Amino acid sequence: MKKRILVSQIVTLLLLIAARPESWRLFWYGLGVMVLGQLVRLAASAAIVKSKTLTTTGPYAAVRNPLYLGTLLMTAGLLLMLSSPSRPLLTLFVWAFGAASFGWIYYVTIKAEEKYLRSVYGTDFDKYAAAVPSILPRPSGLAGFFDFSAYSAAVFRKNKEWRGLSAALLLTLLVAGLIKYGI
């Protein structure tokens, strides 16, 4: 999906408008999940060489889409932060809308990317896809995250993951403000 970032930003804005976060405990739990997601994204962005090779090492040995796994974790963390224990129906709506939006955006995106990768890498991609899960890693594959030879500072800088980190920080501050001021 070519406009996934814009659509994700619109969905996030709608979630921020609809939600009435109130729990500091859920905020901190959610922040922990968001940090884990950001760490996964940072690792993936230091390993992927986009449009030049089929990356299958590092986090890509554990899961074909570690960037999207990180985004999934960050989304779950945000949804935890936005939860309202005193408003269960609102929380259910926020979670349902967030999960459905994430599911649709990344289902479409992953299918399009896999079609492209299959057209470029053919049977190499087919073998990789058969061996490595799409978005949820098997426990046995997690060792790929600790293959430090797969990471490159130059690749990390080129992939500009600082933008996602900045957005996560801004979201965290916004939700904290919503809780503090009861908005």
Per-residue pLDDT tens over the stretch 14-24: 999 999 999 99
Residue 102's nearest CA partner among 2, 1, 11, 6 is: 11
Domain range for 23 is: 4-181
**Domain count of the fold of the chain:** 1
**What pLDDT sits at residue 141?**
83
Residues 72 and 137: beta-carbon distance below 8 Å: no
Is pTM beyond 0.85? Reply is yes
Per-residue pLDDT tens over the stretch 66-114: 999 999 999 999 999 999 999 999 999 999 999 999 999 999 999 999 9
Q: Which long-range contacts (CB under 8 A, 24 or more apart) does 171-174 make?
A: 171/12, 171/16, 171/34, 171/78, 172/31, 172/34, 172/81, 174/16
Q: What span, in angstroms and rounded, lies between the C-alpha atoms of 62 and 40?
A: 11
